[in-house]
Every structure is written in C-alpha cells, then in structure tokens.
Chain A
Amino acid sequence: MAHELRGKSAIAGLGVAGLGEAPGWTAWDIMARASLAALDDAGLTLGDVDGLFCAMMEDTMPALYAAEYLGIRPRYVDGTMTGGSSFVNYLGSATAALAAGLCDVALICYGSNQRTASGKLVTASKPPPYEAPYRPRYPISAYAMAAARHMHEFGTTREQLADVAVAARGWAAENPEASTRDPLTREEVLASRMVNDPLSVRDCCLVTDGGGALVLVRAERARDMPQTPVYVLGSAAASHHRQISQMPDFTTTAAKESGARAYAMAGVTPDQFDVVETYDAFTINTVLFMEDLGFCAKGEGGAFVADGAIAPGGRLPVNTNGGGLSCTHPGMYGIFTVIEGARQIQRRAPGVQIEGVDLALAHGNGGVLSSQVTAVLGSAATL
C-alpha cells in the first residue's frame, strides 16, 4: 500500500539567483531574489507564503531572518540545519505540513555570497574539540579520508575519481548557468594541485555565490497552476554521525538507509530513475552515492562512474547540470539537486535536457558525509 504522503505535495515553482558571482549582493538579497523568481514561476506572491523553510550560514536563526527580510509572517517555520542536505530534508517536512493543513504555500529558500564575500567555504561549524588539535581542513580532510579508505578496501583509483569530475564538466559545458564550462580531461584532474591526498583541487566542488528557491503546494492545487507539477513521491533522511571521527564505516554512508526508505515510500526501484541528481561536494561523493543509493554494488562505484558512464551519452545521467563540481556550489548545494531534477521532469533543463524524464532522484548530503537525505520526484505519469 502506498505511503499516505506519496504524491501529496508538488513543486509548483522554482527559481535561482546570483549563480557564479554576485558581487555586492548580500546572501539575503540572493535568497530573496531566488524566492521572488520561484514565486513568479508559480504565479504566486510573497503574500501567499505561509510556510517558510530556510537554512543559511549567515545567522544561527536564518529562517527568522529570512521571514523578516521578506516581510512575511509564516504560520509554519522550519529551520532544521542538516547542512547542504537541509533543502532536500524540507521536501519531507513541507509535504507533511502541507498535508496536515499547517500551511498552504511552502517556500524553501537559500542564498549565499561566499565566493565574492570571502572566497572560501563559509561555515558556522566550530571545530570539534577532539579533532581540532590535529587541524583537519574542514570539510575536505574528512572526504579525503573516506576516499583513501575506499581506495584501500576496493581498489578504487584516482583515475575513476577523476572521471567523476570529467563527467560533471561534460554536463556543465552545455549549461549556461554553470560557472565552469571549459573542457576538462582525466589527465588534467590527475595533474592538478593535490589538496588533501588523494583529493586534488579538481576533485573538489566549486566555491560560488548563488541561491535557489522552491514553492510547494498540495498536489491538487498544483494541477491548476502555471507550471508542470513535480510531485514529491518519497523523501527520507538518515544520519549516523556528525564528526568524521565518529563515522561508523568510512565506505558506507547513511544514504543506504535514506535511499531505501525514500524508495519504499515512493514505491520505486533505482533502475526506474531517468535522471539522478546527487550532492557531489567531492568526486568520492558520487562514487559512494552510486553504491549506497543502489545503482551498483558496494565497492563497484569506481568502475561504475569511470570512462564516461555518468557523462553525457553514458549509461546513467548523473548530475546533469554539472553538479557542485562544475555548475555551482554556494556552500549548501542540496537545493540545486531538487531544482535540476524538477526542471528535467518539466522539460526545461537549462543545459542538457534528457528525453522523457518522469522520475528523478534528488539526493542531499550534509556535513562530513553526515546527513543523507533522498527525495524521489515524479511527473503526473508516476502518480
């Protein structure tokens, strides 16, 4: 029997703002411009918004700040901070709030000016006291140690990791919204400056400005709105640690659990997805998520992503906007996995439009492989 929340909410509008560089604009400005774009897309106004879902690095109470800036008084607010996965997580809480009648129009929003304001990842996280003396670089040292362990256990190679970056660049090359579109080869990735072994600078996501927003309503209302509705068929979150030193298994993420629960809720299996949008903060992420989300067996992720298999023309379209590696990464990328998946279903991807997309996976990652949130998005044909 289908889960009672399956398909009960739909994305009715989406928007982006300030992707790449937005000099002089504050993170709040970028969040607000993305929100206005999403509401305009949905044929709604700020006055219609009564549910607000927001995470940003600018303030410890970003949802309150956002409501103040936007001049709205929402009756339902969720500012749960699970890092870059927060916005995928809000698909679940917004769906539940909409279904329960706690709000009627949910706005999920985000903005960041980290590139032009600081030039590096902005984080509000304090170094964990039992890790800080060893000066790990946050967050790359954590991902580097996961990559090293994966290589040790399964023979994954730097060449295979490099092919993740090359695939992302292949998609980005066709996407006018992407920040980095020039050609990239495996050899260039391998020859690029090492940052934290085994990850080089081309194994790392971009540092950009940018914001995104989503408008969600109950499914029956979405049918009468301007855009093709994108239904939330399933969503689930899982977390097994916060600090990397507490990760139970360095080669298996909680995505194995979030994915399985999201698929069960949606009643789908991995082989049914037409596009897969995951959070590629580093090349190892994509390898781990291909395994943990059920696209290949544990340990086979390196071979699965190699040789153009997830690049344009490959066997599985993964991170079709160019991902965090080559499209945009303002610090908490998760909302862009949802935006790209939704646009693919709506036949309006800014870059490569995959033909006949009815089912899309959006997967968010937060912290240091800490929070994993999986969402299943579908067209009306999947209801």
Chain B
Amino acid sequence: MTDETPPDRVFRDGLAEGRIRLQRCGGCEAFVFYPRVLCPHCHSTDLSWQDASGDGVIHTTTTVRQKPERGGDYNVCMVELAEGVRMMSRVEDVDPPGVRIGMAVRAVVGEIDGAPAIVLHAKEA
C-alpha cells in the first residue's frame, strides 16, 4: 500500500477534531460517503478531502419504538447533506415523531457511546 492515511482513519480523525470531512472525486466532482479508496460513481482514485458545510435535509426517518425502561423511543433517519451525500444519523433536539421528511437540519459532531459521531440539530424554521 501507499504511505497515505487510510480513508476511514482520516474521517475518524476529523470527527475527533469536530470536523465532518467528505471525500470529493477529482474525476467526476461527486462527493463520496462513506470513505473509501475509489469513487463509486466513476471509479477514479483521485479523491481529496473537503469539510462538509453541515447543511442538510431529512430524506427519510423512523421512530424506533422502545419501552421507557429500556431508554424510550428514538429517532433513526437519513440525512442528505448539501454536498449530495446521504448518511444515517439522528435528530437530537426534536421529539422523535416530530422529525419530518424535508426538515432542514444542521449536521454537527456530537457524541454517541463515548465516541464522536455525526448528529443532527433542527434549524430554526
């Protein structure tokens, strides 16, 4: 292999610094998520890193029902970032059934189970 840093490491090191880093393809200019060694759209290996804007829209969502004694209901959703990539995440500051498709959100680095993770906050309407 080369002396480059493995993409998953770059991504996770970014999260540890509070940054959401996405790969961008030099061949077709598409953003790529999850991190990998080639562009899944055009198969170029010319990938560079760029910080995400953090702007996103809820693409779809569900409320996972769970008994209160086990932690209660929680949100699982797909967010589409302004860069065009989608990822799984959760909205942290809205009651789960209140998370709606089309809702504008801000993706930030939060913490889940002691590790940095991308979470979502609703934008003011």
Instruction: Please give the residue numbers on chain A whose beta carbons come within 8 Å of chain B beta carbons, in ascending order.
Output: 129-131, 133-137, 141, 144-146, 148-149, 152, 193-198, 244-246, 250
Whether A130 contacts B62 by the Cβ 8 Å rule is: no
Whether B64 contacts A135 by the Cβ 8 Å rule is: yes
**Stretch of B22-30, B45-53, B112-120 that contacts chain A:** B112-120
Whether A145 contacts B113 by the Cβ 8 Å rule is: no
Whether A130 contacts B65 by the Cβ 8 Å rule is: no
Most interface-central of A131, A149, A196, A197 (chain B CB within 10 A) = A197
* B82 CB–A CB distance under 8 Å: no
Whether B59 contacts A250 by the Cβ 8 Å rule is: yes
Whole-angstrom distance between the alpha carbons of A136 and B76 in the complex? 6
Whole-angstrom distance between the alpha carbons of A135 and B89 in the complex? 10
Whether A134 contacts B63 by the Cβ 8 Å rule is: no
Whether B34 contacts A130 by the Cβ 8 Å rule is: yes
* Min distance, Cβ B105 to any Cβ of chain A, angstroms: 14
Q: How many residues of B are in contact with the other chain, CB < 8 A?
A: 26
* B10 CB–A CB distance under 8 Å: no
Instruction: Please give the residue numbers on chain B whose beta carbons come within 8 Å of chain A beta carbons, in ascending order.
Output: 8, 33-34, 59-65, 74, 76-78, 86-90, 97, 101-102, 112-113, 115, 117
Whole-angstrom distance between the alpha carbons of A146 and B59 in the complex? 10
Which residues in B have their C-beta under 8 angstroms from that of A193?
65
Whether B89 contacts A134 by the Cβ 8 Å rule is: yes
User: Residue B64 contacts which of A133, A141, A246, A250 (CB distance < 8 angstroms)?
Assistant: A141
Query: Whose C-beta in chain A lies nearest to the C-beta of B8?
Result: A129
A134-B60 in contact given A141-B76, A148-B101 (Cβ < 8 Å): no
Whole-angstrom distance between the alpha carbons of A136 and B99 in the complex? 16
Query: Whose C-beta in chain B lies nearest to the C-beta of A150?
Result: B60
A196-B63 in contact given A133-B115, A148-B101 (Cβ < 8 Å): yes
Whole-angstrom distance between the alpha carbons of A129 and B112 in the complex? 13
Which residues in A have their C-beta under 8 angstroms from that of B78?
145, 244-245, 250
* Min distance, Cβ A128 to any Cβ of chain B, angstroms: 8
Whole-angstrom distance between the alpha carbons of A148 and B113 in the complex? 28
User: Residue B62 contacts which of A129, A145, A246 (CB distance < 8 angstroms)?
Assistant: A145
